[in-house]
Structure 1
Amino acid sequence: MKSLEAFRLTQDFTIPNFYQGGFDDFSEFLVGFVGAHRPACHVSLNASALYWASRNENFKKALTRADLVTADGASIVMARRLLGFPTRSQLPGVDLMDLALRLAGPQGWGVTLVGARSRVLEILKKRCQDLYSNLSCSIELWRQGQGFVSDLAGRMRSRGDRLLFVSLPRPSQDIWLDQNKEILGLPFMMGVGGSFEVLAGEANRAPRLWRRFALEWLFRFLQEPRRRLAATLQATFWFGGYLAKLWLAQKKLSIFRL
């Protein structure tokens, strides 16, 4: 698809299927993407994801094998611009999920929501049925093991589902989808992290002004500072160093080209 391009970060790390379009174009893109009728995984890319890719080989594989990768955070937009890649805007995962659910009813796409918290799943299903017209929505409580994967695939196939959203901690959700993509078989499968809680009304999303100034990460941190402190500091300092390394590599390459 013409909206996808290779995003080369380093000599040995390239993301082949990076979406370079804007949010306004994504509806048309998604209709075509789902219409291809082939098993496909989506990964949302932010600073935390790059950090995990540097630490977890299975997640790095999931990222490089993903059929669609989008810029979830302003950090990725900044990194791409630094490297000379055009990127119109970030596409937060919760907004992409909301857009996909709005399209699902009119397009006749059945949706499955897989998560680890039954209460959140029940609330989310009801909210989805209230918010999104003509939506066929099923919920599944995630379990370990290939038996669950096979049973889930069979149930989704019998319902004719097209979209699968999985809410597990990162990097588990993306690795699970990558390793079971062919069995699950849906044309749009996406790990959405905490989006279930946000859409279910169980967690607050950053106000629009915070999002406008790319401070949604700070808002999330302030909601749970004790739980998020170590991970936020680790990913932030790592990403700062990573950006500096990419910038220096680009400068060195430019000098050699002169």
Structure 2
Amino acid sequence: MSKTLHIMGVPFSTRTMNETLEEITSAAGQQQSKPFHLITANPEIVMKAQDDPSLQQIVNEADMITPDGIGIILASRWKGAPLPERVTGYELLLRLLEIGDRKSWSFYFLGADEATNEKAVSTIRSKYPNVRIAGRQNGFFRPEDEPRIVAEVKAAAPDFLIVALGAPGAERWIYKYKAELNAKVAFGVGGSLDVIAGKVKRAPVIWQRLNLEWLYRLLAQPSRWRRQLVLPVFAVKAFMDRSK
């Protein structure tokens, strides 16, 4: 059985959340020349990859791409090969922190504003006391600061490099420096640090169960409406792509 399902040219993992965690845990236990690059992709990333060859290359070379977004799940159903469940960056991060608390994994947190980054790391220290914080750096840095940041990550040699630079900003940054990072696993987590820090509230459970988190976020942050315009376009293209 294939471990991937292509949706509009993007190879999505067909693994469940637990199977994904097993794969990542295995990667975290191996010494590699480059980090295991995980991408949690939503319809927005899929659409951007259609017209951006550099992003398509990043996607093609990723070690695993998980379905982050109900739109991806619906597209898989239209293809007659439904993916088992959403595997979101936020949930993955929380589950990995739980496992990391038992295994004493080290994490480096890159991204968000300084106050949010600091608060998120402080919250993680408190909730997961056995997780080792290898370092942290806010996301408001200049291009000339990047060699220092890369050198710091390399020296810290974290088990996990967590990047909150937005999508696909995080994916581009990881890909650009992949050979130098000296981390075992690296992935972008969108606005997850904002949620952990309490800056942004996650959708209530009932909204999550109804797969309406996107609507909750839109109502809570009306400025997101321009980003949401991609969803109907994705739906039409994914439906037309169902037989490919």
**Is the TM value for this pair above 0.5?**
yes
Match in the other structure for 2:24: 30
CA deviations on 1:196-252 (whole Å, 9 max, x unpaired) are: 101111101011111111101111111111x1112212x1121122122113xx1xx
Which moved further from structure 2: 59-68 or 195-204? 59-68
Match in the other structure for 1:256: none
Secondary structure in 2 matching 1:193: coil
Task: Assess if the C-alpha contact under 8 Å between 1:109 and 1:162 holds in 2.
Answer: yes
Which residue identity is paired with 1:35? Answer: G
Tell me how far 1:47 sits from its aligned partner.
1.1
What RMSD in Å do the two structures reach over aligned CA positions?
A: 2.0
Tell me how far 1:149 sits from its aligned partner.
4.0
Counterpart pick for 1:218 among 215, 219, 242? 215
Distance 1:14 1:221, change over 3 A: closer
Task: Assess if the C-alpha contact under 8 Å between 1:112 and 1:163 holds in 2.
Answer: yes
Which residue identity is paired with 1:195? Answer: S
Give the Cα separation in 2 of the matches to 1:169 and 1:8.
23
Match in the other structure for 1:7: 5
Task: Assess if the C-alpha contact under 8 Å between 1:150 and 1:183 holds in 2.
Answer: no
Give the Cα separation in 2 of the matches to 1:135 and 1:180.
25
Q: Which consecutive unaligned segments of at least 5 residues does structure 2 have?
A: none
Give the Cα separation in 2 of the matches to 1:246 and 1:55.
16
Which residue identity is paired with 2:26? Answer: G
Secondary structure in 2 matching 1:218: helix
Q: Is the aligned partner of 1:108 residue 2:108?
A: no
Q: How many residues were matched structurally?
A: 240
Counterpart pick for 2:121 among 120, 125, 144? 125
Distance 1:178 1:159, change over 3 A: closer
Secondary structure in 2 matching 1:95: helix
Tell me how far 1:115 sits from its aligned partner.
0.9
Q: Runs (4+) of structure 1 moved beyond 4 Å?
A: none
Task: Assess if the C-alpha contact under 8 Å between 1:149 and 1:183 holds in 2.
Answer: no
Map 1:66-215 to 2 at 5 A. Answer: 66-137=62-133, 138-142=135-139, 143-145=141-143, 148-215=145-212
Give the Cα separation in 1 of the matches to 2:112 and 2:90.
18
Tell me how far 1:193 sits from its aligned partner.
1.1
Distance 1:130 1:169, change over 3 A: same
Match in the other structure for 1:49: 45
Task: Assess if the C-alpha contact under 8 Å between 1:34 and 1:188 holds in 2.
Answer: yes
Tell me how far 1:108 sits from its aligned partner.
2.6
Higher relative contact order (CA 8 A, sep 6+): 2
Map 1:238-257 to 2 at 5 A. Answer: 238-247=233-242, 250=243
Asked which structure has the greater CA Rg, the reply is 1
